[in-house]
Amino acid sequence: MKLNSIFRLLVITAVLASPYFASGQPPRGPYVISPKVNADKTVTFSYLAPNATIVLLGGGQFGAVDVPMTKNADGVWSVTFGPIKPDIYPYSFKVDGVTVNDPANVYLFPNERFKGSLVEIPSDVPAIYALKNVPHGTLSYELYPSVEGSTGTIVVYTPPGYTKEKSKKYPVYYLISGTTDTEETFWKVGKVNLMLDNMIAEGKAKPMIVVMPYGNPMAKIAEQTGKDKPADVTSRDGEDALKRMKLFETDLITNIIPYVEKNYRVITNRDNRAIGGFSRGGGQTLRAAFNNVDKFAYVCSYASYISPAEMDKSFTNITANPAKTNKDFKLLWSGIGTEDFLYKGTTEWEAYLKDKKINVKTYAIPGGHTWMNVKQYLNETLPVLFK
Amino acid sequence: MKLNSIFRLLVITAVLASPYFASGQPPRGPYVISPKVNADKTVTFSYLAPNATIVLLGGGQFGAVDVPMTKNADGVWSVTFGPIKPDIYPYSFKVDGVTVNDPANVYLFPNERFKGSLVEIPSDVPAIYALKNVPHGTLSYELYPSVEGSTGTIVVYTPPGYTKEKSKKYPVYYLISGTTDTEETFWKVGKVNLMLDNMIAEGKAKPMIVVMPYGNPMAKIAEQTGKDKPADVTSRDGEDALKRMKLFETDLITNIIPYVEKNYRVITNRDNRAIGGFSRGGGQTLRAAFNNVDKFAYVCSYASYISPAEMDKSFTNITANPAKTNKDFKLLWSGIGTEDFLYKGTTEWEAYLKDKKINVKTYAIPGGHTWMNVKQYLNETLPVLFK
């Protein structure tokens, strides 16, 4: 006990005396590098926990389900996993049953709930979302006056050259992230900025502005007023869910679009406005587009749908006159993974639209409800917007 | 075993069937709201862990050191702590000995190592860094060509009205974050953007652009080339540390400043260029300023210093002719907390400068090596820049 106390004192003293002890972090042991992506596309994950009994790697999206790690003499647990198919994946560690992200990795998945770390396995031919030596756009965080007196945040991608140009105006893609994701997820995980940088450099996509709102204004209201945050896990068609949808739509139409059109050089007609989203953001996309046909000519649903029952109840304006709808929407696009838990609902909705003679461009690929798939949906849709 | 397998299958099915299961997060139990700031400035922290044996709250900067939490029937551990002095603090949970951040809280401390959550306790009179109903500036993330062929990231604050103005040019403050912090820390934790929004609205600070680099270009180089990241914990005057300082200085002078001056409407003379930083970023600030007297007229060191030995060895250009130095630097500012572990070194450096007849404006307040203190240093220095 006594020796142990002296040892602890020495450790504490050493840490406090270290001129590189920055703000607030716990004492650090051996310097851990994690993740380390190896040339053969295996990845070595490491985690410092001298006193843990069992440490597991969790990265279900690349097949790592509770993979045991082993401890070295310094108390660092590690495992080399793979080779892993090149992509960007979330992962975490389970330390004696407790899920933690990787303290050695600066890249986190922005999310209200899940706090996983991100690892990118580069491919031999640089991926569509790779950081390449091309002109880069800018991502701007803007505070804007949002619903119920709250202040919202949007992230705005402006294409390369936006600053240099003095009068050129651009079309705008409003891109809504899913449940529990934030206004940062579409770029920090979805890499929409790098994808557009690459596509614009190759002449594959039109230079455009992308506006990424935070799809859950209720959370900001709660935060800024001290109200309780409403639960995000409610039934899909429940009152809370529909209220959130409506609140977001109000925010988009009455606050976000006017803010963007006032502060950015954008073309302000429906032919130069697109809307898209993933998961709940896809549901918000479809409702906002169907309720505001005068606003959006391009509509992209990434792994989401509206049930035929809700379509029949709320969106006969879309189905009553297919010729008009098919003229209104220059693109109505629906993408889904065949292993996505929303696959059945999505394909039913697609069939419903086709049965009603509504042109919907459908796209199905392997994969689940993941951001790996979202990047593929972006890759299909970004090049066809505003053309 | 068999029952267990069936149970796992049921859980997996239930999770996948949930229409609100977003990308990648683990199964969620009861909806947890955390942190909840109460009217009396206590805070209720909660964490879901039905199977944990002991859960502790860790928030040393507000006096919460391993505070035991208690579990309710739903498996949610919680504790109400405080009242807490209004400010923004990092915190975490220790779950059966494993440090984790708060999965219910979207606000994280951007850092290479530490991944704490952030809680803000508002004060009755809104704080200097509070989100107020004033015009807001914009934060832009820019990718720029950095050292050794890598691509760096800077975050650029432009003041309210920057976009509307077509030709007005602004002074620039280069603001360097500390060891293991990132280009995001000065705004996500330091709130420099909101502080400037408020000060500009009140006429207390000049409208300015703030450029926030990532002070550790070696990490980006390693990431982008597949090289091992160099350890960040080295001796203060070690070869690695000095190499990093020099590399950062090269990046700043040859890449970052030219990039900013090409892409933003900035005034390009030394009287309209300031540099400041916290901790290691303060050290980088002082070396960059002293090595490039032609570049910066305002120099702010937040909790950092250069040892008299290094001054004597490397910076006699500063001390040899105090009259010139005092004319060159319109401001040489040094702030430190009396409980900061760098307090002694900083005061020795300040005394050294004074002994050499160099005008240094010193500022000492209670507090440690924290971002609470950094906000106070910003509050002292932002209003006197470029005046």
Distance in angstroms (rounded) separating the CA atoms of residues A352 and A157:
35
Distance CA B334, CA A178 (A): 45
pLDDT at A168 (0 to 100): 96
**pLDDT in the model for residue A26:** 41
- CATH code 3.40.220.10 for B17-120: no
Query: How many angstroms separate the CA atoms of A15 and A21, rounded?
Result: 7
Q: Give B263→chain A minimum CA distance, Å.
A: 7
- Nearest to residue B233, comparing CAs of A33, A250, A189, A136? A33
Asked if A22 and B101 come within 8 Å (Cβ–Cβ), the reply is no
Percent helix, strand and coil across chain A, each rounded to 5? 35, 25, 40
> What ipTM goes with this model?
0.89
Closest CB to B24 among A20, A116, A232: A116
Mutation site, A13, A21, A23, A61, interface B, largest B CB count within 10 A:
A23
Contact state of A233 with B143 under an 8 Å Cβ cutoff: no
B170 secondary structure, DSSP code? B
Encode pLDDT of A5-19 as tens digits. Answer: 333 333 333 333 333
Give the gyration radius of chain B's Cα atoms.
Answer: 23
Q: Which residues of A323-340 are buried (b: 16+ CB within 10 A; e: fewer)?
A: eebeebbbbbbbbbbeeb
In the block, which residue shows the tokens 């082993």? A70
The CATH class, in words, for A23-120 is: mainly beta
Residue A364 CA to residue A343 CA, distance in Å, equals 9
Going by C-beta distance under 8 Å and a sequence separation of 6 or more, which residues neighbour residue A94?
A: A55, A56, A57, A58, A66, A100
CB atoms within 10 A of CB A365: 14
Amino acid letter for position B17: A
Residue B370 φ then ψ, to 5°: -130, 165
Alpha helices in A18-102 (DSSP H): none
* N residues, chain B: 387
The string of pLDDT tens digits covering residues B130-179 is 999 999 999 999 999 999 999 999 999 999 999 888 899 999 999 999 98
Please list the rounded mean pLDDT of every run of 10 residues in chain A (387 residues): 36 33 45 92 95 95 97 96 98 94 94 91 95 97 95 97 91 94 97 98 98 90 74 60 89 98 97 97 97 98 96 97 98 98 98 98 97 98 98
CB-CB under 8 Å, B22 with A178: yes
The H or E element that residue A337 is part of is strand A331-337
Token code pair at residue A309: 């029952």
Gap between the Cα atoms of A339 and A350, Å rounded: 16
Beta-carbon separation of B99 and A26 below 8 A: yes
Determine the Cα–Cα distance for residues B42 and B29; give it in Å rounded to an integer: 25
Contacts of B96 (CB under 8 A, 6+ apart): A96, A97, A98, B52, B53, B54, B55
User: What is the distance between the alpha carbons of residues B261 and B174, in angstroms, rounded to a whole number?
Assistant: 12
On whether the CB atoms of residues B53 and B93 are closer than 8 A, the answer is no
Check B136 against A142: CB less than 8 A apart: yes
Within the 250-269 window of chain A, which residues sit less than 8 Å (CB to CB) from chain B? 263-264
Domain definitions of chain A by residue range: 23-120, 138-384
Q: Taking CB atoms and an 8 Å limit, are B116 and A19 in contact across chains?
A: no
Q: Name residues 281-340 of chain B within 8 A of A (Cβ).
A: none
Question: pTM of the predicted model, to two decimals?
Answer: 0.91
Give me the architecture of the B138-384 domain, per CATH: 3-Layer(aba) Sandwich (3.40)
Q: Which residues pair with B138 in a beta bridge?
A: A142, B158
B49 at interface of A, judged by CB pairs closer than 8 A: yes
- Is the bond preceding A35 in cis, omega lying within 30 degrees of 0? yes
